[in-house]
DNA sequence: AAGGAAACCAACCGCCGTTCC
DNA sequence: TGGAACGGCGGTTGGTTTCCT
């Protein structure tokens, strides 16, 4: 556990620490304060949870001191917000959440915190990591910049409609052919977002307030929506899932208890302007691009791991041709 | 089976706006 | 009122895990 995790400027500036603690001189040099760095221990987690449970959140620097944590206030805040608070949601990003992220990112760019506000239980850090590892990976595969118009168009007119198809397929698979409430709600929401199926665009059904119905979807039908239980952290020690075990076994005050309801029902109201932007772009992908034949053998729709199979070989080849001719 | 590459993600950083004293 | 402290944000790092050859 006592590993060197000094990074960033400390590393760049040549500072090196042989352990997870760092010696900092106080302003008046009367005492040296040891500050821990690196991964949090279970004991530290409990100390932080325990303190906040009794005293609430406050000024993080003083909180860290009062809780007996040899951590910076920033570190405590980050740990709490990203992992320990009871309403943080763990587990894979669901298809609906992926769709939400893509849409909101297309609207706001790297405003991770703002995007996270629309994904209850998800942290900006998690969304940021998702974007970097999943989305940027595909831009890399296509040999184009993630900020390029081509890639953005690809997301909007290929990736996102396919996500919708998979959402619908998953809903249908889970619920059977019957028109269960989940299926109905999902399709309604998707239609209200302006996506009928891959490659198709439907008109929005905005209400008088300009919202698109505000239909809520229960994403829990996807197999990916699994909450992680006990697992190993990246340093080999057994790690308690901050939510499923660590926080569950702790007797929290009533605060936040009812928020679990929220993140089971992402609200797509905010996607009101999604539809108009789905109107055909400059025509990159309308040139004889017929989704249907592809879908028949596309595991992306058939139910594999959506997050890693956004494109099949044909897609990538086709898109690369498009990029080469448009660059 | 082993080694390398890629992916994942927790935790750090600096910057900057806000709040406090 | 101005400097210090704090909080929030986006960017980055690097250790571990998983995948691929």
Mean pLDDT by 10 residues, chain A (327 residues): 31 33 39 73 92 88 90 91 88 86 87 89 90 81 77 83 84 60 45 44 33 32 33 34 33 33 37 39 34 33 39 52 54
Placement of tokens 């406050």 in the chain = A58
CA A175 to C1' B8, whole Å: 32
Q: Which nucleotide is nearest to A57 (CA to C1')?
A: C7
Q: Tell me the C-alpha distance between A275 and A212, whole Å.
A: 9
* Residue whose C-alpha is closest to residue A38's, from A9, A12, A70: A70
Q: What spatial distance separates the first Cα and last Cα of chain A, rounded to whole Å? A: 49
The answer to whether residues A60 and A231 touch, using CB atoms and an 8 Å cutoff, is no
> Is-contact A279 A155, C-beta < 8 A?
no
Q: What is the pLDDT of residue A49?
A: 92
pLDDT value for A132: 83
Nucleotide with minimal C1' distance from the CA of A233 is: C16
Which bases on strand C have an atom closer than 7 Å to a protein beta carbon? 5-17
The answer to whether the beta carbon of residue A126 comes closer than 7 angstroms to any atom of strand C is no
Angle at A76 between CA A267 and CA A69, to 5 degrees: 150
Cβ-contact A106, A277 below 8 angstroms: yes
A61 touches strand C (CB under 7 A): yes
Are A278 and A272 in contact by the 8 Å Cβ rule? The answer is no
For strands A231-232 and A32-36, give the pairing.
unpaired
| pLDDT of A90 | 80
Question: Is strand C within 7 Å of residue A60 (CB)?
Answer: yes
CB count in 10 Å sphere of residue A321 = 10
Closest CA to A131 of A150, A162, A109: A109
Nucleic strand C near CB of residue A111 (< 7 Å): yes
SS3 A185: helix
CATH class as words, domain A8-84: mainly alpha
* Angstrom distance, A59 CA to C2 C1': 22
Q: Which nucleotide is nearest to A59 (CA to C1')?
A: C6
Asked if the Cβ of residue A59 lies within 7 A of any atom of strand C, the reply is yes
CB A250 within 8 A of CB A243: no
Collapsed DSSP state (helix, strand, coil) of residue A101? helix
Q: Cβ distance A164 to A99 under 8 Å?
A: yes
Q: The tokens 């889970």 sit on which residue?
A: A174
Which parts of the protein come within 7 Å of strand B, by CB position? A 5-10, 13, 36-40, 72, 74-75, 78-79, 82-83, 125-126, 128-130, 132-134, 137, 140, 233-234, 307-308
Nucleotide nearest to A137 (CA to C1'): B7
Nearest nucleotide (CA of A77 to C1'): C7
- For chain A residues 220-239, those near strand C by a CB cutoff of 7 A are 232, 234-236
Cα–Cα dist A264/A225, whole Å: 10
CA A11 / C1′ C13 distance in Å: 10
Q: Can you tell me the distance from the alpha carbon of A18 to that of A6, in angstroms, rounded to the nearest whole number?
A: 9
A4: Cβ under 7 Å from strand C?
A: yes
Position A173 scores a pLDDT of 74
Tokens linked to A29:
């040099």
As a whole number of angstroms, the distance between CA A123 and CA A116 comes to 6
CATH 1.10.10.60-classified regions of chain A: 8-84
Place of tokens 């009367």: A30
């Amino acid at each position: 556990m006592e590993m060197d995790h000094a990074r960033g400027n400390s590393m760049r500036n040549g500072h090196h620490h042989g352990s997870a603690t760092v010696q900092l001189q106080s302003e008046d040099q009367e005492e040296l304060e040891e500050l821990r760095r690196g991964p949090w221990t279970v004991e530290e987690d409990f100390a932080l949870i325990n303190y906040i449970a009794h005293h609430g959140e406050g000024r993080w620097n003083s909180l860290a001191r009062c809780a007996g944590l040899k951590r910076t206030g920033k570190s405590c805040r980050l740990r709490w917000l990203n992992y320990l608070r009871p309403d943080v949601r763990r587990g894979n990003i669901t298809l609906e959440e992926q769709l939400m992220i893509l849409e909101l990112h297309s609207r706001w760019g790297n405003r991770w915190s703002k995007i996270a506000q629309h994904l209850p239980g998800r942290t900006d850090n998690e969304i940021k990591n998702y974007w970097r590892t999943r989305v940027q990976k595909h831009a890399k595969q296509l040999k184009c910049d993630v900020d390029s118009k081509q890639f953005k168009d690809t997301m909007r007119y290929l990736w996102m409609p396919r996500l919708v198809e998979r959402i619908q397929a998953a809903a249908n698979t889970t619920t059977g052919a019957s028109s269960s409430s989940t299926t109905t709600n999902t399709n309604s929401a998707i239609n209200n977002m302006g996506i009928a199926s891959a490659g198709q665009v439907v008109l929005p059904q905005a209400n008088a307030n300009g919202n698109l119905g505000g239909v809520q979807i229960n994403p829990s039908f996807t197999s990916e929506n699994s909450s992680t239980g006990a697992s190993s952290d990246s340093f080999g020690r057994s790690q308690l899932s901050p939510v499923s075990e660590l926080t569950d076994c702790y007797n929290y005050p009533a605060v936040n208890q009812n928020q679990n309801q929220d993140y089971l029902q992402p609200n797509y109201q905010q996607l009101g302007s999604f539809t108009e932007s789905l109107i055909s772009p400059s025509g990159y992908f309308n040139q004889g691009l017929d989704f249907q034949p592809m879908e028949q053998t596309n595991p992306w729709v058939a139910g594999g791991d959506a997050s890693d199979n956004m494109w099949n070989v044909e897609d990538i080849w086709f898109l690369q041709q498009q990029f080469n001719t448009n660059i």
